[in-house]
A and B are shown apart, each in its own frame.
Chain A
Amino acid sequence: MQESEFSFELDGTDLPFEPGQSIMEAATQAGVYIPHLCHHPDLRRNGSCKLCTVKVNGRFGSACALPAQAGCTVESNTSELQEMRRQIVQMLFVEGNHYCPFCEKSGNCQLQVVAYHVGMVDMHFPPFNTARQLDASHREMLLDRDRCIQCARCVRASQDLDKKNIFGLAGRGMNIRLVVNSDSGLLGDTDFSSADHAAQVCPTGALIRKDQAYPCPIGSRLYDTPISQHTIRQDARHD
């Protein structure tokens, strides 16, 4: 197969890809942003948040999980998909308890910036106001389940990269929740460390360092400028 044949069309533009790459990986490599939350370039594919849903040859699919295929036509930046993404983000906001005004991750939070990107201006749905446990038992790290979106990034990072298997998702549907693999269920009773990969990959403020308060001043935070072409590769690796 010729090199030129390893390409597909994304929103009317031909993008090259390397065999085995997902649509998300090819788009990111080309500097095209497809909204996502559970996807992380260092982690195995998950495809759970559905925010990166695109239309491939007219059918819905997750850009992070679907391999790029030569000659296929992919739609991403359409009003239909943006509306669906907005509703997904709104549902994530009402499921958890996300208070951006005082969250230490504000400005560096992927959920927040995606909400801005998809044009979310209110929660639309009534908030669940669920009572979720805050786990401050660990010496270095805070686990604030109010901000958890069950993306399983920490679960995958802990299992695959750290080889510790500290986190897991328990329950189903609306009752799904992040659990900690210790007899007490507390993070303080594990060998979790702030140096672990799992401590670096949370897209929200659910897992943050305890000893830093608002480490980046307003104006210097990652998302103080809107997501644009020049930050996409940085974003993909940063969070």
Chain B
Amino acid sequence: MYEHLETAEKTQDLSRVVIEPVSRVEGHGKVTLLLDADRRVRQARLHIVEFRGFERFIQGRPFREIPTLVQRLCGICPVSHLLAASKACDHFVIGKAKITPSAEKLRRLLHYGQVLQSNALHFFHLASPDLLFGFDDDAAHRNVVGVINDHPELGLRGIRMRKYGQEIIRILTGKRVHGTGSIPGGFLTPLSTGNRELLLRDIDGIIEWCQASTALARDIFLSNQPAHTLFGQTESAFMSLVDANGAADLYDGVLRVTGADGRIMVDGHQPSHYHDLIREEVKPWSYMKFPYLSSFGRQAGYYRVGPLARVNNSVCMPTPRAEEARREFAAFGEGKPVQATLAQHWARMIDTLLCAEVIRELLLDPDIVGTDLMTSGDPLREGVGVIEAPRGTLIHHYRLDDDDNIQFANLIVSTTHNNRGMNDSVRAVAAEYFDGREITEGLLNRIEVAIRAYDPCLSCATHALGQMPLVIEAISPEGQIQSQLIRHADGLMERSPA
């Protein structure tokens, strides 16, 4: 809708506004706006300025340490990387066989606990200050401390919901962050009956809180219509994992893509064939790639992932309260996927409710305390693991050399899928709110509100090592460029004397 604002033609006459760093998101990013003399926005970009290199430096490492290694990509959603990598590396131990039921249920419990805590962190700690106090509230008050001061019960609820998810992680992996538990071929340790009772003791209260939080997110979104629907507007398809029946599944399943018109564009796509579905575009001004559905092209292949995609894509939720909430959400879309950027908060809370209900089901399943956690099979040399991380579809792909070390790695991280969506929303807000107006802190915050709605994990999503277009210049003491080394987006190297 606002693609024309990606690149301005004559930038020399434009003034530049920079938001750096983008606050209350994971990782580091910045937004640049170029304005003309009439304060009309001519260019708006979300830049990812971090540089990581996991895909490169895990090459040559033994595959068994990869799940535990790559979870260091992130301090918020490490479990997602641990599990996606475990699923990929399962192939190197058991081939096409399946891990044991107890191992899979422990991984699911770990994963749903992780999504619950991550979603609670985002909604209560990062996003709720904007939603509760308004986008123009004083920045000194518009934060989680302000929430705790003004709404202590709500603030405490968010903290306790997150704590519950972290307790699941601690019990299953030994630490709240960066533990060990899921390993190629299964799971390391069983869940004791004592710890199961400990988790069961609080789960009903957590479900109640998740339901109340879903209602809160819904009420906030519906309270200011149509402004909340139009804010940061963009229109895309949606991709997520669903189970064989089309119900939401955060741990496993097949890929489904639903178009903006509500029609299913792709269904039953095996995650291991993700490369037939997705292609990544590199742009010179960001360390984050721009994926699209290859068979539909860059424009028609524009899609988003995350809780909004999960709720839009699923024909049903596998648990009763989450399903009731999904139906209410779907009714708002009137037969089409809900596109509203701010509706992502509502969808995220439905997602959280789903997690809490699934956690209860898993804890009541006898297999969850089973001790048969490892299995064997005929190992393969290549593996793909796909999972629905808190921020969306996460893909890990590895190939081994003859000594069982990683020879090739490709990670497509959830936030990367939403790169175009975030940029589109930034441009929509910039075009809607900035044109011709005096720039205020509240206006700048609107840009961040649009980005925050995606709950981006910018540090996870920067993996363009070896593919970024670069220009290296040798400059004389007098300031003259003596020579240039240029690497183009297609990898072609060019050297030129100045």
Pick from A101, A103, A217 the residue with the most CB of B within 10 Å: A217
* Interface members, chain A 125-158 (any B CB < 8 Å): 134, 136-137, 142, 144
Contact B62 A214 (CB under 8 A): no
- Which A residues are in CB contact (< 8 Å) with B184? 213
In the complex the two chains form, what is the Cα distance from A219 to B184 in whole Å? 20
Q: Closest Cβ of chain A: how far from B103's Cβ, in Å?
A: 13
Cβ contact of B174, chosen from A210, A213, A217, cutoff 8 A: A217
Write the chain B residue with the least CB distance to A138. Answer: B403
In the complex the two chains form, what is the Cα distance from A137 to B180 in whole Å? 26
Contact B72 A136 (CB under 8 A): no
If A217-B174, A217-B188, A219-B174 touch, does A134 touch B64 (CB 8 Å cutoff)? no
Contact B68 A136 (CB under 8 A): no
In the complex the two chains form, what is the Cα distance from A144 to B61 in whole Å? 9
Write the chain A residue with the least CB distance to B190. Answer: A217
Cβ contact of A214, chosen from B72, B183, B405, cutoff 8 A: B183
Interface size on B, residues (CB 8 A): 23
Contact B62 A142 (CB under 8 A): yes
Write the chain A residue with the least CB distance to B188. Answer: A217
- Which B residues are in CB contact (< 8 Å) with A214? 68, 180, 183, 188
Q: Closest Cβ of chain B: how far from A108's Cβ, in Å?
A: 12
- Which B residues are in CB contact (< 8 Å) with A142? 62
- Which B residues are in CB contact (< 8 Å) with A101? 69, 72, 178
In the complex the two chains form, what is the Cα distance from A217 to B181 in whole Å? 7
Interface residues of B, dominant DSSP? loop
- Which B residues are in CB contact (< 8 Å) with A103? 65
In the complex the two chains form, what is the Cα distance from A152 to B14 in whole Å? 66
A104: interface (CB < 8 Å): yes
Chain A 46-71, CB-CB to B under 8 Å as 1, else 0, gives: 00000000000000000000000000
* Interface members, chain B 147-187 (any A CB < 8 Å): 173-175, 178-181, 183-184
Q: Closest Cβ of chain A: how far from B79's Cβ, in Å?
A: 14
Contact B65 A218 (CB under 8 A): no
B312: interface (CB < 8 Å): no
Pick from A104, A136, A142 the residue with the most CB of B within 10 Å: A136
B43: interface (CB < 8 Å): no
Interface residues on A, range: 10 to 19
- Which B residues are in CB contact (< 8 Å) with A217? 174, 180-181, 188-189
Contact B174 A218 (CB under 8 A): yes
Contact B404 A102 (CB under 8 A): no
B60: interface (CB < 8 Å): yes
Contact A213 B403 (CB under 8 A): no
Write the chain B residue with the least CB distance to A214. Answer: B180
Contact A134 B68 (CB under 8 A): no
Contact B189 A134 (CB under 8 A): no
- Which A residues are in CB contact (< 8 Å) with B72? 101-102
- Which A residues are in CB contact (< 8 Å) with B67? 213
In the complex the two chains form, what is the Cα distance from A218 to B61 in whole Å? 22
Contact A136 B179 (CB under 8 A): no
Pick from B61, B403, B404 the residue with the most CB of A within 10 Å: B403
Cβ contact of B62, chosen from A136, A137, A218, cutoff 8 A: A136
Contact A136 B65 (CB under 8 A): no
In the complex the two chains form, what is the Cα distance from A218 to B177 in whole Å? 12
* Interface members, chain A 215-233 (any B CB < 8 Å): 217-219
In the complex the two chains form, what is the Cα distance from A217 to B373 in whole Å? 14
Contact B175 A213 (CB under 8 A): no
Write the chain B residue with the least CB distance to A205. Answer: B65
- Which A residues are in CB contact (< 8 Å) with B183? 213-214
In the complex the two chains form, what is the Cα distance from A101 to B65 in whole Å? 11
- Which B residues are in CB contact (< 8 Å) with A212? 64
In the complex the two chains form, what is the Cα distance from A3 to B141 in whole Å? 75
In the complex the two chains form, what is the Cα distance from A116 to B199 in whole Å? 33
Write the chain A residue with the least CB distance to B175. Answer: A218
Chain B 61-89, CB-CB to A under 8 Å as 1, else 0, gives: 11011011100100000000000000000
* Interface members, chain B 171-218 (any A CB < 8 Å): 173-175, 178-181, 183-184, 188-189
Contact A210 B404 (CB under 8 A): yes
* Interface members, chain B 395-444 (any A CB < 8 Å): 403-405
* Interface members, chain A 85-129 (any B CB < 8 Å): 101-104
A-B contacts, 17 of them at CB < 8 A, read A101-B69, A101-B72, A102-B69, A103-B65, A104-B65, A104-B68, A134-B62, A134-B405, A136-B404, A142-B62, A213-B64, A213-B65, A213-B68, A214-B68, A214-B180, A214-B183, A218-B174
List residues of B whose CB falls within 8 A of some A CB: 60-62, 64-65, 67-69, 72, 173-175, 178-181, 183-184, 188-189, 403-405
8 pairs of A and B residues whose beta carbons are closest in the complex: A218-B174, A136-B403, A213-B64, A102-B69, A214-B180, A213-B183, A217-B189, A102-B68
